[in-house]
Amino acid sequence: MKSLINTDWMRHLKIFLAGTALSLSVMGAGTNQTWAASNQQTIKQTIQTLQQSDQRWIQINLSKQRLTAWEGGKPVYSVVISSGKKSTPTRVGTFKIQSKYKTTRMRGEDYDVPNVPYAMFYQGNYGIHGAYWHKSFGTPVSHGCVNVAPNHAKWLFKWASLGTPVVIHK
């Protein structure tokens, strides 16, 4: 008999309350293919809506390794990026710039980089920022962030404000 549990949709959440761990498993019905198609449709609709507005927004095409800054339906700036490598992919979806830092320190399990320039975070520790430590733009090499050359990061930092939509797709 085929299992009704799709391990790709199983999520495990631990909540710590007053020193006691509560473990909760959540399962969603459906398949990854259904979710991916739904997410692609949402992204497509968001792009169409933004292009019909006069709003500033950022589009990141992971397949082309390209970031485009838009004002409504008019592209105003486009640069080559380095997104997340296969083991640490850049998340696909629609986001908004939540915080901006002229310089920041970025740390992870296997990296600690000081003075990261012009960082704009759109989801937790995921952001668009300057990368002075490599010149591999056009190739996915990051830990999930969107790397651009520092001079391009500076332009984007000045152009975008908190709340600017960021649309990331393949």
Mean pLDDT estimate for the chain = 86
Give yes or no: 169 in active site: no
pLDDT tens digits, residue range 7-42?
443 333 333 334 444 434 333 444 566 666 788 999
For range 58-71, the mean pLDDT: 98
Is residue 43 a part of any domain in this protein?
no
| CATH label of the domain that carries residue 139 | 2.40.440.10
For range 149-163, the mean pLDDT: 98
For range 92-115, the mean pLDDT: 97
Is residue 130 a part of any domain in this protein?
yes
- Beta-sheet pairing, 146-148 with 74-80: unpaired
Is residue 117 a part of any domain in this protein?
yes
Is residue 45 a part of any domain in this protein?
no
How many domains would you assign to the chain?
1
Beta-carbon contacts of residue 22 (< 8 Å; ≥ 6 apart): 14, 15, 16
Could you tell me the pTM of the whole model?
Answer: 0.80
The phi, psi pair for 138, rounded to 5°, reads 100, -10
Cα 115–98–107 angle (5° rounding)? 35
Q: What local confidence, expressed as pLDDT, does residue 38 receive?
A: 80
Of the candidates 12, 129, 143, 152, the residue annotated as catalytic is 129
Of the candidates 12, 134, 143, 145, the residue annotated as catalytic is 145
Give yes or no: 145 in active site: yes
